[in-house]
């Protein structure tokens, strides 16, 4: 599986969980974010998906975090992004995180 295929897979998994299990949906969106960071368009899309998730959940703190992170996705154009960061407020916007093992081989 390529990085792009995995990115799409995580998004589709999240969509399948919409309205069923919001926390599982969020975990797939975070994984999509990790996979999308290297490419600006995918990075931006992942933040827009996270923004929409926050809106649907009424999670105003996450919504505010995403409003700040959407413009931050421009960092991908210059290769500036914290590898492994889930893209949500549970980790600082500039804080790298350990890569999940299954994603490491796709991003390595």
Assess contact for 30 and 73: CB atoms under 8 A: no
pLDDT given for residue 94 in this prediction: 87
Distance of alpha carbon 35 from the chain centroid: 7
In the chain, which stretches have pLDDT less than 70?
none
Angstrom distance (rounded) from CA 2 to CA 5: 5
State phi, psi for 100 to the nearest 5 degrees. Answer: -55, 140
The model's pLDDT over 26-50, given as tens digits with 9 standing for 90+, comes to: 999 999 999 999 999 999 999 999 9
């Amino acid at each position: 599986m390529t990085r792009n295929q995995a990115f799409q897979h995580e998004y589709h998994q999240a969509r399948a969980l919409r309205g069923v299990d919001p926390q599982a949906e969020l975990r797939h969106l975070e994984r999509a974010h990790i996979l999308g960071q290297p490419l600006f368009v995918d990075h931006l899309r992942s933040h827009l998906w996270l923004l929409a998730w926050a809106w649907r959940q009424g999670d105003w703190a996450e919504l505010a975090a995403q409003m700040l992170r959407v413009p931050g996705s421009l960092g991908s154009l210059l290769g500036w992004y914290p590898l492994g960061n889930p893209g949500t407020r549970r980790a600082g916007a500039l804080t790298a995180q350990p890569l999940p093992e299954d994603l490491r081989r796709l991003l390595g």
